[in-house]
Amino acid sequence: MTDTPAVRVRGLRKTYGDTLAVDGVDLDVAAGEVVALLGPNGAGKTSTIEILEGHRDRDAGEVRVLGHDPARAGLDWRTGIGIVTQDGADLTELTVREAVRHFARYYPEPRDPDDAIELVGLTGKADARVRTLSGGQRRRLDVAIGVVGRPRLLFLDEPTTGFDPQARRQFWALIRRLAADEGCTILLSTHYLEEAEALADRVAVIVDGRIVAAGTPATLGGRATARTLVRWADGRQETDDPAALVASLTRRYGGVVPGLTISRPSLEDVYLDLIGDPS
């Protein structure tokens, strides 16, 4: 990692008419880091990401992406960035290989398009027309297009929507490889808590256009220091010292404690708490 952050955002604001979509977001992403944006529908994740990509204007705030303001940055800057949007481009009549080749031409040192297709597991569909792909296969193509230019910084807006569980695991492996082997910085949004937990060095939770919590998946919202819930066949207790409680239960039962489970709040528990879910 270098000292210059890949992304530095201060006081970002964006309104659409009367809707305040982004309300004073501060965000730093260090070079080489994987950061996940979490938040309910309409929280402002896509608006934030699209401003960082240079695809949307902002109303206020400082934004630096790879050291430049995306609202004014040139072609050189753009070639350092990979983008996977929620919608994807309209490529229906091209084949998968033609589509990836087309985008590879925009970059000075692209990957071999066939390598990018292989990275996302679409080799068997390289000659298929884009319109014939399933939803999950189409999303994989979007990811291939996002990484074909060997970006230093990759934006992924809900990249695994529609993926089957195996495809999601393969995608996670790809993201880890890009981060670990190529030093690629990654900012992604996702609704899958397990995806954030599997991939992100840090997560930021956005609600109503504001970041309400940020931290590592293990520590977000005080998760690491939250009390442990110990449950057994005929009781339950929250405790700071689960080992002592289990030892005393073991003595009480004279051996195996029936129905014993020990749990900390999951990332999903913490997240639902942060977004104010009453259930």
Ligand X SMILES: Nc1ncnc2c1ncn2[C@@H]1O[C@H](COP(=O)(O)OP(=O)(O)OP(=O)(O)O)[C@@H](O)[C@H]1O
Contacting residues toward ligand X, per CB under 6 A: 16, 19, 21, 39, 41-47
| Smallest distance from ligand X to CB 175, Å | 19
Shortest distance in whole angstroms from residue 39 CB to ligand X: 5
Closer to ligand X by CB, 229 or 275: give it: 275
Burial 225-255 (b: 16+ CB within 10 A, else e): eeebebebeeeeeeeeebeebbeebeeeeee
Choice between 17 and 254, CB closer to ligand X: 17
Q: Reading across the β-sheet that carries 60-65, which strands appear in turn?
A: 19-29, 7-16, 60-65
Give 94-97 contacts, CB < 8 A, sequence gap 24+. 94/129, 94/130, 95/126, 95/127, 95/128, 95/129, 95/130, 96/122, 96/125, 96/126, 96/127, 96/128, 96/130, 96/133, 96/141, 96/144, 97/126, 97/127
Q: Which is nearer to ligand X, 55 or 169 (CB)?
A: 55
CB of 52 to ligand X, least distance (A): 12
Inter-helix orientation angle 135-147/96-104, to 10°: 20
Tell me how far apart the alpha carbons of residues 264 and 55 are, in angstroms, rounded to a whole number. 40
CB of 41 to ligand X, least distance (A): 3
Q: How far is the CB of 42 from ligand X (least distance, A)?
A: 4
Q: Which is nearer to ligand X, 104 or 207 (CB)?
A: 207
Q: Which is nearer to ligand X, 100 or 193 (CB)?
A: 193
Query: How far is C-alpha 182 from the geometric centre of its chain's CA atoms?
Result: 18
Task: Name the residue among 137, 106, 110 with its Cα closest to residue 121.
Answer: 137
Closest CB 146 distance from ligand X, rounded Å: 17
* Rounded least distance, CB 141 to ligand X, Å: 20
Q: Which is nearer to ligand X, 38 or 119 (CB)?
A: 38
Calculate helix-pair angle for 135-147, 165-182, nearest 10 degrees.
10
> d(Cα 175, Cα 32) in Å, to the nearest integer?
12
Q: With respect to ligand X, which residue has the nearer C-beta, 171 or 192?
A: 192
